[in-house]
Each structure stands twice: as structure tokens, then as C-alpha cells.
């Protein structure tokens, strides 16, 4: 039988991921600290802790992959049209505002995917915390199970 303390700890494990907005890597530190200190006391807390940590690691991995793919599109577009051999300083330098490169569209599309992913991450965290508050187990979608 789950008591309110176990439900509260599981809820705070999920909500502690929002500490990343105040503390660097708080989305990892908060859940890990709460999970490690309480995992032996309850299998419910243990399951929610593993899910929260696995989700944060998965999101970090997806962000690194998306950033690795999208950053070169912006860099190539930024240096498009510059001739590095005949660049004679700033007196001949000018910016040409013309037709955007297709690379910019691809990079912008990947940026839009990143924004949508961020919004979905917030929704999933809130949904997981509400499930934990109600005493239910929640499985984050698209999560790689590093901790089993």
C-alpha cells in the first residue's frame, strides 16, 4: 500500500527536473539525489526515479544528436558566399540579403523540432508527476532504459 510520503517523493523526483532552470545540470542532480536517498524505502519511488533519470539522459542524448545535425547547416549558411582566398579585410566586406539558402530551411526546421521537443518534454514531466501523485507508474515515451 502506498502512503502519501512515497507518492510525494515520486512526484518531487519528476518535478526536480525543473531545477535545471536554476542550477546547471539540476535536471540530473535533483532526481538522482532524491532517488538515491529513497530508492531502498519503496519500489514505487525506485521505479519513478529510474524513469525520470532515464528520460533526462535520453532527452540529453537526443539534444546532442539534434544539435550535431543542425549546427553545421547554420554555419555553412553563414559562410555561404564568402571567398576566403580573396578576402581583403573589411573595406570590401558587405552583406548580401538575397534568397535564403536551402540549408537555412533545413536548419530552421531542425530548430523547430527542438522547440516542439522541449514543449513535449515539459508536458511529459508534468504528466509523470501527476501520475506519481495519483500512485500510478508512468512510462515516458521515447525513453532509452539505461537504468533497469
Q: What is the DSSP letter of 94?
A: -
What gap in Å lies between CA 65 and CA 44, rounded to an integer? 32
The pLDDT value recorded for residue 1 is 74
Looking at residues 77-100, what average pLDDT do you find?
Answer: 57
CB 9 within 8 A of CB 38: yes
Residue 32 has which C-alpha cell? Answer: 538522482
Q: What is the mean pLDDT of the chain?
A: 85
Distances (CA, A) of 146 to 44, 47, 54: 18, 13, 6
Residue 93 has pLDDT above 70, yes or no: no
For 23-51, write each residue's pLDDT tens digit.
999 999 999 999 999 999 999 999 999 99
Arithmetic mean of pLDDT, 117-143:
94
HSE, side-chain direction, 13 A CA sphere, residue 46: 7
Average pLDDT over residues 88-93: 58
Asked if residue 12 lies in contact with residue 6, where contact means CB atoms within 8 angstroms, the answer is no
The Cα–Cα gap between 106 and 99 comes to: 15
Band (95; pLDDT cuts 50, 70, 90): low
CA-CA distance, 110 to 65, in Å (whole number)? 11
Amino acid at each position: 500500500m502506498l502512503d502519501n510520503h512515497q507518492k510525494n517523493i515520486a512526484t518531487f523526483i519528476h518535478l526536480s527536473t525543473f531545477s535545471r532552470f536554476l542550477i546547471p545540470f539540476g535536471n540530473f542532480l535533483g532526481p538522482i539525489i532524491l532517488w538515491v536517498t529513497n530508492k531502498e524505502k519503496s519500489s514505487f519511488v525506485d521505479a519513478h526515479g529510474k524513469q525520470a533519470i532515464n528520460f533526462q539522459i535520453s532527452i540529453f542524448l537526443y539534444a546532442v544528436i539534434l544539435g550535431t545535425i543542425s549546427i553545421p547547416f547554420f554555419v555553412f549558411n553563414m559562410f555561404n558566399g564568402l571567398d576566403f582566398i580573396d578576402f581583403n579585410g573589411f573595406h570590401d566586406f558587405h552583406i548580401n540579403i538575397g534568397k535564403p539558402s536551402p540549408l537555412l530551411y533545413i536548419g530552421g526546421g531542425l530548430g523547430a523540432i527542438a522547440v516542439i521537443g522541449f514543449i513535449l518534454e515539459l508536458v511529459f514531466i508534468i504528466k509523470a508527476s501527476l501520475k506519481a501523485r495519483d500512485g500510478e507508474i508512468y512510462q515516458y515515451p521515447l525513453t532509452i532504459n539505461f537504468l533497469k
